Structure 1
């Protein structure tokens, strides 16, 4: 079995190898990214846009139909009714179209 000092030397050697491999892979990844950006003439705004996935609302999401005049909270009329409308006439909370 290897001694403690030998194992420490092995760990140091492995850490150096890991750093070198990581640097090489990062350099290769940067080259690929630069090639793609150049090929498609992408702008930083296109590459680093804050939107993830689709920019439209979820499928099935409905526009709000009711608004609480006190808090400004809205409800589409789907799902469980919120406390601010519960037990009251919905007509007085309708959002004008």
Structure 2
């Protein structure tokens, strides 16, 4: 009968072998996928792996909607409100 330490050593060895086999199989699978994609002219866009943003298009910044009368700092009204905004009375900071 094997001891606890011997079984633990066997587990470690088997885990190492399994990881090596996984790496080998993964590299073979990737190579096969690349070969098939090249053979059929498949692109990442064909598979749905595209950026959500349009290529080269950048959103224009929003015009400021609120201004801090003390510092002149502005805020567009989107995202987390700056500390200088009074959550109960934002109207006094509106840019007119």
The TM-score with structure 1 as length reference comes to: 0.48
